[in-house]
Chains A and B, each alone.
Chain A
Amino acid sequence: MTQDPLYREIILEHWQNPQNYGRIRNPDIDVSQVNPTCGDKIRLTGKIKNGKLTEVAFEGEGCAISKASASLFTQQIKNMSVAKIKKLKNEDVLKNLPVSITPARHNCALLCFNALRKGLK
């Protein structure tokens, strides 16, 4: 079967079974972010130990792009040093997705990253 140009297998998989979905107890980071385009909301929680993000989870409403991107992103940053996370750029997050996303959906794909950026400020 030919794959959809946007909704690739990997996006559908992470949409169906998002990784790191839920909430961390007694978190060091607890931040919510709204997608200005659609009003969808994500809540990101995490624990920091010795300058490292040892635990991270997200929950909330979202489209397939935002859910899959959040799932992939939390996998990417788990156990990463906070210093390194702070240096991440939008492109580093968009790179997790198997296809390039149109600017109209950037807010969806970057929702989780924007939440974390706010949480680490």
Chain B
Amino acid sequence: MKNNFKKDFPIFKNHPKLTYLDNAATTQKPKLVIDAVTNFYSNYNSNVHRGVYDLSFKATEIYEGVRVKVANFINAKDSAEIVFTGNTTEAINLVAWGYAKKNLKRGDVVILSEMEHNSNIVPWIRLKEEFGIKIFYLPIDKNFELDYEALFNAGLDLKKVKIISLTQASNVLGTINPLEKIIPVLKKKCSNAKFLIDAAQSVVHIKVDVQKLGCDFLVFSAHKIYGPSGIGVLWAKQELLEEMEPIFSGGNMVEKVTKEKAIFAPPPAKFEAGTGKMEAVAGLGAAIDYINSIGFKKIISLDQELTEYGLKTLNKIKGIQIYGSNKSKNRLPIFTFNILRLHPHDVSEILNRNQICVRAGHHCTHVLHQALGISGTLRASLSVYNSTKDIDELAKGIEEAKNIFKV
């Protein structure tokens, strides 16, 4: 399998033997993105939304242009529905503290799932502890899929369900949740609920369309989609942004300030206090350009090929236990596994000797690991610059670890 995209990423020129399989944690950056970041500093640096001078006007044009790009990328109705945050975690916190804190009261229910990342669990636990809301976790079934119908047999007062917050794809199991199908069903049964989608893993692999999904909030990070770290996105319906409270306040987010009172600016500025990460926003724009230049048709067929080959190759290893569906459909090229009784850290240490980067541990999904009854796992997560050769390298490294540990 020849990979056409690896050459776009300078890190592989600097580390020619690198087998990078930790893309669910963060992706590498194409030259296009790195250039966009330095180009902002070299050619346009000045504060956005401030100066009347040409340079600041141009910087603002770039910054706001990326907002439009993001809106088109996820098919938002208007770029004013796009709020720049620090990352996915910050975006979920903004929904928790800016929306839920205001609208949920004691006894109201937030629905999550056992396959959520800590970023979509911990903010809700804090709300539970501070305001007495309840959390219900949708379980996963034996095929590592979301058992959303469990909600209907849980004895909950569904009128009290105010937030349903689910990941579109699991960072551990690779499962893509069929949200187009699930959201209408859950919305019908839980008519007072708002729907938040964590698209941190999915948005780089499948076409995300907020209007088609019928959700109310959607969040993701730039660094997992070939963009810079430190910048993320909250999309929310206009009317929800209007009623939400900002978490941070100060410059940029006000329309008028007197000694006694501050009038907030309309969204999205209301949620973007202070000077933003301007160069990172420029980089995010380039990352979206990069994804669009490949196209989701190509990305999906690449993912499919890698998933099939990965499952086939890894399943040949004696003693491997894969936590995820063995079918390649509706699944990302993410392989989480254990080898007999080898500890993930020991295997990863041996893989590292051949410059194979995998994640070892619980991948910020303590709840999922508890549900699976395991303490840690190894995870290989793939991206557009990976090829079947990388999977072969991984399999070879695992066999080497088995040899060293004589298992």
Contacts and interface: CB of A to CB of B under 8 A. Distances in A.
Partners in one complex: yes
Interface of A: 4, 6-7, 12, 15, 38-40, 61-65, 105, 108
Contacts, number: 36
State the main secondary structure of chain A at its contact with B. Answer: loop
B376 A61 contact: yes
Given A6-B349, A40-B375, A63-B343, 9 more contacts: A38-B360, A61-B376, A62-B343, A63-B346, A64-B343, A64-B405, A65-B346, A105-B345, A105-B349
Interface string B5-32: 0000000000000000000000000000
Contacts of A108: 345
Interface string B258-291: 0000000000000000000000000000000000
A63 B404 CA distance: 14
A39 B346 contact: no
Nearest to B407: A16
Contact of B375 (A6, A12, A39): A39
A39 B405 contact: no
24 contacts: A4-B404, A6-B349, A7-B346, A7-B404, A12-B405, A12-B406, A15-B405, A38-B360, A38-B361, A38-B376, A39-B361, A39-B362, A39-B366, A39-B375, A39-B376, A40-B375, A63-B343, A63-B345, A64-B343, A64-B346, A65-B346, A105-B345, A105-B349, A108-B345
A71 to B, nearest CB: 14
Nearest 10 pairs of A and B residues by beta carbon? A63-B343, A63-B345, A61-B375, A64-B346, A63-B346, A4-B404, A38-B361, A7-B404, A38-B345, A39-B362
B340 to A, nearest CB: 12
Interface in B357-403: 360-362, 366, 375-376
B interface, how many residues as a size bin? 10 to 19
A39 B376 CA distance: 9
A58 to B, nearest CB: 15
Interface string B286-324: 000000000000000000000000000000000000000
Interface in B236-258: none
Contacts of B346: 7, 63-65
Contacts of B362: 39
Contacts of B375: 39-40, 61
Q: Which of A7, A39, A63, A65 has the most CB of B within 10 A?
A: A63
A61 B341 CA distance: 11
B361 A7 contact: no
Q: Which of A38, A39, A40, A62 gathers most chain B CB within 10 Å?
A: A38
Interface in B182-218: none
Contacts of A7: 346, 404-405
A13 to B, nearest CB: 11
Contacts of A15: 405
A80 to B, nearest CB: 28
Interface centre among B360, B361, B375, B406 (most CB of A within 10 A): B375
A39 B365 CA distance: 12
A105 B349 CA distance: 10
Interface string B334-357: 000000000111100100000000
